[in-house]
Amino acid sequence: MDFNLTEEQIGIQTSVKKFVQQEIEPISQQLDQEGRLPDDFITRCAQLGLLGMTVAKEYGGIGGSNVNCVLAIEQLAYSGTGAWWLVSFHNSIPECIQKFGSEKIKRTFLRPLCDGTAYASIQFTEDETGSDPSALITTSRADGDNYVINGKKRFSTFGARNGYAVIYTKDEEGGCTAFVIEKNREGYTPTKVWGLTGGGGIEAVDVYLDDYKVPGYNLLGQKGRGFDILLYWIASEKIQQCAAATGIAQAALDEAINYTKMRKAKGKPISDMQGIRWMLAEMQSKVKAARWLTYRAAFLQDQGTDGWMIEAATAKLFVIPVAMEVVETARRLHGAYGYTRDFKIERLHRAIAGFPSIAVSLEINRSMVGSSLAK
């Protein structure tokens, strides 16, 4: 096994880190307050080659790897904002369309999602369900050459931005069927952006669909097999979420190191205390373990290894709780200042708060991994 990054991968880390320092950190408080990314942010990400990183060049992508993608997301999440979500969605969603879509779908939708002229969204979650396809209320029915969709979707990230969404519906036979749809057309109405605890820039909205017509050729994959597509996408999203959690944890560790070197007790930095150093050492070991488990999951995905989706769930079970422990420890090392918005650690603490419930809850991931072991 080779644990060394290639020159290309080191270049991705360096360029994205510089991008974060120059263009995201200075507006991090603004993102936190407004909850909206700058309109040109998606264009800048496209120019850096961060969109469609695993999509073939013939469809407008970069033709790279999932490992490259998680390297970029880790650096973006270091800011403690929701900026990483855009890059995550514009890799996991195009990759899903590339894998399951017809040639017409790929030729129609992938290039705009890779060049930054269209925003990608997923629309599965509803008021009464977040994981169970049998509980879907949103319906699709055939109408000549079209399908007509009616229902409501919850927490659709970038759902109000122009572009395309992969939407999951209950078809006439009760199966889960997926389509690629154009947002903000007749019959499509988004609500205002949800106010979230952290991760400014996620832009999650509810979406109402009222007799929304979609061409039949926009069906993604096979009719009634939409849940297979969702499971594939969620597995990719878990790995990318682990990368984001690792980036946030690394930022928290760095903040803790800087603070304890600056904060003095009896005339000496508290970082001189053995107890403090032990805490920092424990944090370091956890961040490194989370990082390599994430990289390995992305590597297995790139290799198409059997069981890579279970490896993604396994990674989430470890990385998310560990990253949250690191962030909480860093906040406690800041003392009362860790509870003020004058210090970055407070933003990092809020940014990671929702991770156990996003991209399938930790409890469902435990069931998935446990079931695979029992079989």
Residue 107 pLDDT > 80: yes
How many whole angstroms separate alpha carbon 176 and alpha carbon 93?
18
Q: Average the pLDDT over each of 47-61, 71-85, 143-157, 353-367 and give the range with the smallest value.
A: 353-367
Query: Exposed, middle or buried by CB within 10 Å (0-12, 13-18, 19+), for 29?
Result: middle
CB neighbourhood size of 92 (10 A): 25
Mean pLDDT throughout 235-244? 97
Residues 6 or more apart whose Cβ sits within 8 Å of residue 49: 62
How many whole angstroms separate alpha carbon 117 and alpha carbon 96?
19
- Paired strand residues for 181: 165
How many whole angstroms separate alpha carbon 82 and alpha carbon 198?
8
**Residue 234 confidence (pLDDT):** 95
Residues 6 or more apart whose Cβ sits within 8 Å of residue 159: 121, 123, 153, 165, 183, 190, 203, 204, 205, 206, 207
Q: Round the average pLDDT of the chain to a whole number and report it.
A: 95
Residue 163 pLDDT > 90: yes
Structure confidence at residue 250 as a pLDDT band (50, 70, 90): very high
**Residue 200 confidence (pLDDT):** 84
Residue 131 pLDDT > 80: no
**Residue 3 confidence (pLDDT):** 87
Mean pLDDT throughout 149-163? 97
Helix or strand (DSSP H, E) at 57: none
Residue 133 pLDDT > 90: no
**Residue 348 confidence (pLDDT):** 97
Mean pLDDT throughout 306-313? 96
β-pairing, 264-265 vs 268-269, is antiparallel
Structure confidence at residue 128 as a pLDDT band (50, 70, 90): confident
Tracing tokens 């996408």 back to the chain, one arrives at 233
How many whole angstroms separate alpha carbon 147 and alpha carbon 167?
12
Mean pLDDT throughout 291-308? 96
Query: At 65, is the secondary structure helix, strand, or coil?
Result: coil
**Residue 132 confidence (pLDDT):** 83
Helix or strand (DSSP H, E) at 264: strand 264-265
Would you state the structure tokens that stand for residue 298, as one six-digit string? 């992305």
**Residue 115 confidence (pLDDT):** 97
How many whole angstroms separate alpha carbon 268 and alpha carbon 329?
21
Query: At 229, is the secondary structure helix, strand, or coil?
Result: helix
Residue 201 pLDDT > 90: no
pTM, two decimals, is 0.95
Cα radius of gyration rounded to whole Å, the chain: 21
Residue 360 pLDDT > 90: no
Residue 340 pLDDT > 90: yes
Q: Integer distance in angstroms from the first to the last C-alpha of the chain? A: 28
Structure confidence at residue 358 as a pLDDT band (50, 70, 90): confident
Query: For a pLDDT cut of 70, what percent of the chain falls above it?
Result: 100
**Residue 2 confidence (pLDDT):** 81
Structure confidence at residue 375 as a pLDDT band (50, 70, 90): confident
**Residue 52 confidence (pLDDT):** 97
How many whole angstroms separate alpha carbon 231 and alpha carbon 235?
6
Residue 239 pLDDT > 90: yes
Is 158 in contact with 120 (CB distance < 8 Å)?
Answer: yes
Q: What are 78-93's pLDDT values in tens digits?
A: 999 999 999 999 999 9
User: What percentage of the chain's residues is helix, strand, coil (to nearest 5)?
Assistant: 55, 15, 25
Residues 6 or more apart whose Cβ sits within 8 Å of residue 133: 168, 170, 176, 226, 227, 230
How many whole angstroms separate alpha carbon 157 and alpha carbon 79?
19
User: 331: which DSSP letter?
Assistant: H
Mean pLDDT throughout 308-328? 97
Mean pLDDT throughout 261-274? 95
Structure confidence at residue 130 as a pLDDT band (50, 70, 90): confident
Mean pLDDT throughout 108-124? 97
Domains identified in the chain and CATH numbers: 7-117 (1.10.540.10), 121-224 (2.40.110.10), 227-374 (1.20.140.10)
CB neighbourhood size of 130 (10 A): 16
